[in-house]
Amino acid sequence: MAEIGKKLKLNSGWLAARSTEVELSGAQLTTTHPPSIGPSSPWMEAAVPGTVLGTLVKNKVVPDPFYGLQNETIIDIADSGREYYTFWFFTTFQCKLSESQHLDLNFRAINYSAEVYINGHQKVLPKGMFRRHSLDVSDVMRPDGTNLLAVLVHPPDHPGRIPAQGGQGGDHEIGKDVAAQYVEGWDWMAPIRDRNTGIWDEVSISRTGPVKIIDPHLVSTFFDDYKRVYLHATLEMQNKSSWVADCSVNVQVTTELEGNICLVEHIQSQKVSVPAGSTIQYTFPQLYFYKPNLWWPNGMGKQSLYNVVISIDVDGFGESDSWNHHFGFRKIESDIDTATGGRLFKVNGQPIFIRGGNWILSDGLLRLSEKRYHTDIKFHADMNFNMIRCWGGGLAERPEFYHYCDTYGLLVWQEFWITGDVDGRGVPVSNPNGPLDHDLFLLCARDTVKLLRNHPSLALWVGGNEQVPPPDINAALKKDLELHPHFQTSSENEKWMVDSSSESEDPSQYLDGTRIYVQGSMWDGFANGKGDFTDGPYEIQYPENFFKDDFYKYGFNPEVGSIGMPVAATIRATMPSEGWEIPLVKKLPAGYVEEVPNPIWDYHKYIPYSKPHKVQSQIELYGSPKDLDDFCLKAQLANYIQYRALIEGWNCRMWKKYTGFLIWKTQNPWTGLRGQFYDHLLDQTAGFFGCRCAAEPIHVQLNLSTCCIEVVNTMSDDISGVAIEASVWDLEGTCPYFKVFEKLSLPPKQTSSIVEMEYPKSKDSKPVYFLLLKLYNVSNYGIISRNFYWLHQSGGDYKQLEPYRKSNIPIQVTSQVIIKGSTYEVRVNVQNKSKNAESSSLTYKNNFINRQGEGDPDSNSLPLENKEQTDKKRSTGFFHRICRRIVTGSNSPRLVETNGNAVGVAFFLHFSVHSSKAEGKEGEDTRILPVHYSDNYFSLVPGEAMPIKISFEAPPGVAPKITLHGWNLSHGLTVC
């Protein structure tokens, strides 16, 4: 049993059974007839946290709904009735209580309502998917310490029916409940048959003394240009005893210096008396800090976190309860920018250009895990994004999600559970008045605020997606989430006196008070700001269109999207062989084509790479694909170009026209075929690395509309002593254009146009060519930004690249493997060994500047450092500590190379990691996933070398094999 003030998670050992197959009552299950698994038993191992459908899939009672068309074989709740998905969940736990101790049984979320039985005693959990439940079960504990728990979980009241034509949110009935709305299906998602019924979030027990801590609220206020900072804390104290509790209420603030060595910044203790059987609110005297380490978003600085511990000692008892949370000192401000009309965000007084993505949820069956959340959020940081929008039809995201956003510097836009399709429009027209129970919605909203408000990554609350909540809900949220005066505008900072004698002015006494509330995703500085449909587009574009002034009219686009085809191995792993057929192509006038996907791709919401009469096929530009592998490889080429161009198009008008954008969307909660940078199996598309390139804090790019070389500097300081190297390479391996632009000075927070490229206009320019841009420090040739393009002349195509696949370019790879347990870190150096007579500098070595703050090569924040001068490791804290690596296994460097003799660009090189077992049956997926790459889908000009870091965990007993593939690397090269 957990110690006083510590929770014990009940996340294993659960059983589940359909309620109609269990004849016993809850009292019987938890007294005389506890269940067990057997040949004639309806009971099975349960997924808790998880859902009913997740449990059925885990036990192979139903097929995997994300594979092929198997979701169509699973009975929908509209056809089966709610009882079919009403399930019992059962477990046991050990606990004995001493005198004056209390035990709480905690459910962080259940969908949708439940009856709880513990040792024969019943407690009812009310409705609502997004609310916490805490039950004092002290009086029903068994003397022998073995306690039996059974929970009967009921589905949402209005699960709805899926129309034959599908649609956004099915028939919209789910909108009558306070629940996730995506479960009836969307244009990117198939319906979830049980509507996510289940104990879908953490279950725990926690032991306290007579006084319990409830929902502390931490707030920091800043003065003197962020040198003087005050920490405010308010909490509720519940006295469960029948006598007055005289307490010492303590707060301790520590910061981690190195590894697990911590510095205690503050300790404070206050005397408080809590009347018998009552709950009081208590506010600490503010704590003063001078020049604390600030928390910054990804790309702007370090994500410094402090650990705040609050504890209560009761006279005559001892420690009664404790609570801790990681906290970041930072101030987020937001207003509508007068220059662009877009929503402007400032962090610690610095404007931040928002480049981020829309997030649905990690997994459609709510198989949520801390490990997957870590990968998800790290992937977003690896792409150099700085904001994630939690879309209103999905979840109020979990604390584990927010923890990793805190760790990696991802600002979070959190919406409540309103979407226009389900709450006011659609076919059939949905109910505009939101859920039936407005009080329940507000209860869930307020509880969600209390759950998440202490996370520094949380940037704003939004009422709904493409809709505002009903007037009474909207008014209540505006009032509840009103800003404290200190956070209203920068000019108010000094007006609010930190030593104010009025307790009501302490910001920690607000429900939140530190971050804005916006009523809807297209209001108040987003899209046209008036709620009109001015987000999007969501389809393939000509890359140069993103750079044109008329592509998007408004300052901040909350949703702009495109294609997202995964690699061929993912198609084979998630579909039967009939799903491996590539789209049929219908020829249309003027060179346009229409793609006709197979039924499985259509079910998985494939979005085409062509738009008839508007955009010619961005796959056919490379020649008609022969098979699945060829199609998916060419799709990756298009993915890279499409998303790099999207971001670079916004970059070129940073602060002049735009304040930010969010791509729809970054990932898929199932095996979908659209709008993603990594698939549901956690393999990245090439679009991932196109984003990673384009969203660098300091970035050199080509404006595809004006043909000008530009440098994007999102940082707060100017950059001097730098130069740009521009080289053009043709398919014969020669360099017809090479220039260096020196003595550059790049202003802060600005995109600077440097020079117009001459090559495309020269009379001897080639129809297809490569352009390599490098921004580097003149003093040491350290690369700040590298950007490689493959380009064709206006009106042309890339079909000359098809015979280029036969070029046998000599490649040399040096690798070294570091192993710690199951974790592999592989450092490779890939070099194009073609002769490079034209190179006139040392930049071909690609000695990259380290822009990683603490040295993690998979995150990006300044200041600039030379990579050879630092090799520190980031500390994530809280759940996992990534300390300095202790090497327990290391192989000697290994060198492998091809015997090619051609001269030219090694094009579109990409690594993959597999188990090294012999080839399995057709369609078997041998990939090891996820893998973190410092770069992938890269190209090397003659003589050029690229250092790459690859890290992953190998399953037990599996020996990994790393292979390098490439457009003109005819056979994969096994690296190690």
Tell which phi-psi region holds residue 120, choosing left (phi > 0), alpha (psi between -120 and 50) or beta.
left
pLDDT at 214 over 60: yes
pLDDT at 166 over 90: no
State residue 489's pLDDT score.
73
How wide is the angle at C-alpha 150 spanned by C-alphas 145 and 153, nearest 5°?
Answer: 155
Concatenated DSSP letters of 346-385: EETTEEE-EEEEEE--S-TT----HHHHHHHHHHHHHTT-
Range name among 38-42, 348-352, 495-499, 539-543 with the lowest pLDDT average: 495-499
Q: Are residues 473 and 398 in the same domain?
A: yes
Q: Which of 712, 655, 697 lies closest to 863 in space, CA to CA?
A: 697
Residues tagged active-site: 466, 559
Q: Are residues 512 and 373 in the same domain?
A: yes
Give the mean model confidence (pLDDT) for residues 893-913: 94
Q: Are residues 771 and 832 in the same domain?
A: no
Residue 167: which pLDDT band, with cuts at 50, 70 and 90?
confident
Q: Are residues 343 and 296 in the same domain?
A: no
Q: Are residues 517 and 549 in the same domain?
A: yes
For residue 931, give both structure tokens: 């893998």
Residue 865: which pLDDT band, with cuts at 50, 70 and 90?
very low
Q: Which of 229, 228, 216, 238 lies closest to 284 in space, CA to CA?
A: 216
Concatenated DSSP letters of 493-506: TTTS-TT-S-GGG-
Q: Is residue 641 part of a domain?
A: no
State residue 929's pLDDT score.
98
pLDDT at 967 over 60: yes
Q: Is residue 59 part of a domain?
A: yes
For residue 743, give both structure tokens: 């003595």
Pick 300 or 850 by higher pLDDT. 300
Q: Looking at 143, 173, 208, which one is the last position of a domain?
A: 208
State residue 256's pLDDT score.
79
pLDDT, tens digit, 9 for 90 and up, residues 102-134: 999 999 999 999 999 999 999 999 999 999 999
For residue 240, give both structure tokens: 């469960």
Which residues are within 8 A (CB) of 792 and not within 5 positions of it... i.e. 6 or more apart?
A: 621, 767, 768, 798
pLDDT at 882 over 90: no
Give the mean model confidence (pLDDT) for residues 157-182: 95
State residue 879's pLDDT score.
31
Q: Looking at 532, 558, 584, which one is the last position of a domain?
A: 558
Residue 261: which pLDDT band, with cuts at 50, 70 and 90?
confident
Q: Are residues 734 and 816 in the same domain?
A: no
Q: Is residue 652 part of a domain?
A: no
Write a three-state SS string for 211-279.
EEEEEEEEEEEEECCCCEEEEEEEEEEEECCCCCEEEEEEEEEEEEEECCEEEEEEEEEEEEEECCCCE
- Strands 556-561 and 660-664 turn out to be parallel
Quote the number of domains for the chain.
5
> Order of strands across the sheet with 44-45?
44-45, 15-18, 87-94, 146-154, 113-118, 121-125
Which CATH number is 443's domain given?
Answer: 3.20.20.80
pLDDT at 719 over 50: yes
Residue 866: which pLDDT band, with cuts at 50, 70 and 90?
very low
State residue 445's pLDDT score.
98
Q: Looking at 558, 583, 613, which one is the last position of a domain?
A: 558
Pick 854 or 846 by higher pLDDT. 846
State residue 498's pLDDT score.
46
Burial state string for 722-739 with b = 16 or more CB within 10 A and e = fewer than 16: bbbbbbbbbbebebbbee
State residue 859's pLDDT score.
35
DSSP 622: G
State residue 501's pLDDT score.
42
Sign, CA dihedral 666-669-670-674, equals negative
Q: How far apart are CA 232 and CA 223, in angstroms?
A: 14
- Strands 849-850 and 343-347 turn out to be unpaired
State residue 490's pLDDT score.
57
Tally of CB atoms within 10 A around 36: 9
Q: Are residues 497 and 542 in the same domain?
A: yes
Q: How far apart are CA 685 and CA 936, in angstroms?
A: 10
Give Rg (Cα) of the chain: 29
State residue 805's pLDDT score.
95
Residue 367: which pLDDT band, with cuts at 50, 70 and 90?
very high
State residue 923's pLDDT score.
62
Q: Is residue 758 part of a domain?
A: yes
Give the mean model confidence (pLDDT) for residues 332-344: 97
Q: How far apart are CA 752 and CA 745, in angstroms?
A: 9
* Contact indicator for 771, 789 with CB cutoff of 8 Å: yes
Q: Are residues 107 and 254 in the same domain?
A: no
Concatenated DSSP letters of 825-839: EEEEEEEE-S--TT-
Q: How far apart are CA 671 and CA 565, in angstroms?
A: 11
pLDDT, tens digit, 9 for 90 and up, residues 218-240: 999 999 999 999 999 999 999 99
Which CATH number is 960's domain given?
Answer: 2.60.40.10
Q: Is residue 606 part of a domain?
A: no
Give the mean model confidence (pLDDT) for residues 330-346: 97
State residue 971's pLDDT score.
85
Q: Are residues 377 and 475 in the same domain?
A: yes
Q: Which of 86, 96, 153 lies closest to 119 in space, CA to CA?
A: 96
pLDDT at 717 over 50: yes
Q: Is residue 665 part of a domain?
A: no
pLDDT, tens digit, 9 for 90 and up, residues 445-489: 999 999 999 999 999 999 999 999 999 999 999 999 999 999 997
Which residues are within 8 A (CB) of 915 and not within 5 positions of it... i.e. 6 or more apart?
A: 926, 928, 954, 955, 958, 959, 960, 961
Residue 840: which pLDDT band, with cuts at 50, 70 and 90?
low
For the chain, the average pLDDT equals: 92
Give the mean model confidence (pLDDT) for residues 805-820: 95
State residue 889's pLDDT score.
56
Q: Are residues 312 and 336 in the same domain?
A: no
Query: Which range of residues forms the domain containing residue 715?
Result: 697-796
Q: Is residue 629 part of a domain?
A: no
Which CATH number is 70's domain given?
Answer: 2.60.120.260
Q: Are residues 497 and 445 in the same domain?
A: yes
% the chain with pLDDT above 70? 93
Tally of CB atoms within 10 A around 797: 18
Q: Is residue 461 part of a domain?
A: yes
State residue 924's pLDDT score.
84
pLDDT at 883 over 50: no
Q: Are residues 310 and 400 in the same domain?
A: no
Please give the C-alpha separations between residue 485 and each of 231, 234, 503, 514, in angstroms, as whole numbers: 16, 17, 14, 9
